[in-house]
């Protein structure tokens, strides 16, 4: 049995790299591959509902980009027999075994969204994946507006490993990113229209991914990347993914959320109710006090309350 690494999926056909020969093959998945017995320790056993339990069960598992697999040649086909355990597993973008996520946000067109940034950070913190922030289209924003955006984003320097400002079309600021990708599998994540494909084209000249102007009527971008694909880059891989406009949490209990706000967690021990404090209506809450003292960005706390309410009000899923 040979080991491979999936780099692209189109219409149930999997492009994989043989880890020994480094050759590329088009493969199909074995018919029984999807139905696997997993136990509570399996990396595939992710809680999907409030009532689901992490116990031994038969699950439907589909290969995704970033998966390491066992494969072999059977007659005139390359067959994937097993998916190896995942170290992390993202849904949007739908990719696994990532070393880092580059969150791509445009300064304007579409407007920078702190709501979406905080939402994505929760998802990434759940998976314990390092995050970097790339702010694109800095050539399209007024100087004073960019100055204010940079001022607000200074708060995130203690949460995010690095923040880089780029003009991808003119390749301004792009060179700062080259060393970031060395020997790593990196994924670009962001909503449609923020310039992910333009950034990839700037990083890897000659790739010529399709780009498209943002829709003025809708105020958002159109999907130009139709599938998730890994591109060899800097002795690792760079993943361009289809954009998105909505991210759902895999959180089912309101007290889970606060642990994915690391800046809040540091203050929790000073709350009157300690780590059991939800930072919502409790008296003598250190987080709420920090917001009042402008030690926590107001928009970040507002987003936390929005997310908390969302989790409280979510309908039961079975």
| Rounded Cα–Cα distance for residues 189 and 116 (Å) | 11
Check residue 65 and give its pLDDT: 93
> N- to C-terminal Cα distance for the chain?
37
Check residue 233 and give its pLDDT: 93
For domain 95-240, the CATH superfamily is P-loop containing nucleotide triphosphate hydrolases (3.40.50.300)
Check residue 316 and give its pLDDT: 60
CATH 3.40.50.300 range(s) for the chain read 95-240
CATH 1.10.40.50 range(s) for the chain read 254-313
Check residue 71 and give its pLDDT: 97
Token pair 């790299």: residue: 17
Query: What are the percentages of helix, strand and coil residues in the chain, rounded to 5?
Result: 30, 25, 45
For domain 2-85, the CATH superfamily is Nucleic acid-binding proteins (2.40.50.140)
The DSSP-derived string for 132-146 is EEEEE-GGGS-HHHH
Question: What is the pTM for the complete model shown?
Answer: 0.82
177 touches 204 (CB < 8 A): no
Check residue 317 and give its pLDDT: 52
17 touches 23 (CB < 8 A): yes
CATH 2.40.50.140 range(s) for the chain read 2-85
Spell out, as residue ranges, where the chain has pLDDT lower than 70: 32, 34-60, 92, 208-226, 243-249, 315-318
Check residue 81 and give its pLDDT: 92
Kindly state the tokens that stand for 300: 């970040």
256 touches 304 (CB < 8 A): no
Check residue 59 and give its pLDDT: 66
Kindly state the tokens that stand for 295: 């030690």
Backbone angles phi, psi at 219, to 5 degrees: 75, 20
What's the distance, CA 33 to chain centroid? Answer: 26
Closest CA to 19 of 81, 70, 64, 74: 70
Check residue 191 and give its pLDDT: 85
Residue 237, helix vs strand vs coil: strand
| Rounded Cα–Cα distance for residues 254 and 58 (Å) | 29
Q: What fold characterizes domain 254-313?
A: Ribonucleotide Reductase Protein R1; domain 1 (1.10.40)
């Amino acid at each position: 049995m040979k080991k491979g690494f999936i780099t692209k999926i189109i219409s149930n056909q999997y492009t994989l790299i043989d880890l020994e020969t480094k050759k590329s093959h088009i493969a199909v998945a074995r018919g029984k591959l999807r139905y696997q017995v997993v136990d509570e320790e399996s990396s595939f056993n992710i809680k999907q509902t409030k009532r689901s339990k992490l116990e031994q069960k038969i699950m439907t598992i589909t290969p995704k980009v970033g998966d390491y697999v066992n494969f072999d040649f059977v007659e005139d086909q390359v067959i994937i027999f097993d998916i190896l355990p995942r170290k992390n597993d993202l849904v949007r973008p739908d990719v696994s075994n990532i070393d880092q996520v580059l969150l791509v946000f445009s300064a304007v067109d579409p407007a920078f969204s702190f709501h979406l940034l905080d939402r994505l950070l929760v998802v990434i913190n759940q998976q314990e994946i390092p995050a970097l922030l790339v702010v694109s289209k800095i050539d399209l924003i007024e100087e004073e507006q960019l100055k204010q955006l940079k001022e607000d984003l200074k708060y995130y320097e203690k949460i995010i490993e690095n923040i880089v400002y780029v003009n991808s079309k003119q390749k301004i600021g792009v060179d700062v990113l080259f060393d970031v990708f060395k020997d790593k599998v990196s994924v670009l994540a962001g909503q449609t229209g923020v310039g992910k494909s333009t950034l990839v084209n700037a990083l890897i000249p000659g790739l010529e991914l399709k780009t498209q102007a943002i829709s003025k009527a809708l105020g958002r971008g159109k999907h130009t990347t139709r599938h998730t694909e890994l591109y060899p880059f800097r002795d690792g891989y760079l993943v361009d993914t289809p954009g998105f406009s909505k991210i759902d949490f895999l959180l089912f209990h309101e007290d889970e959320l606060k642990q994915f706000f690391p800046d809040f967690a540091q203050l929790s021990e000073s709350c009157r109710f300690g780590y059991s404090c939800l930072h919502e209506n409790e008296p003598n809450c250190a987080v709420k006090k920090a917001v009042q003292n402008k030690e926590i960005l107001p928009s970040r706390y507002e987003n936390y309350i929005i997310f908390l309410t969302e989790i409280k009000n979510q309908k039961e899923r079975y």
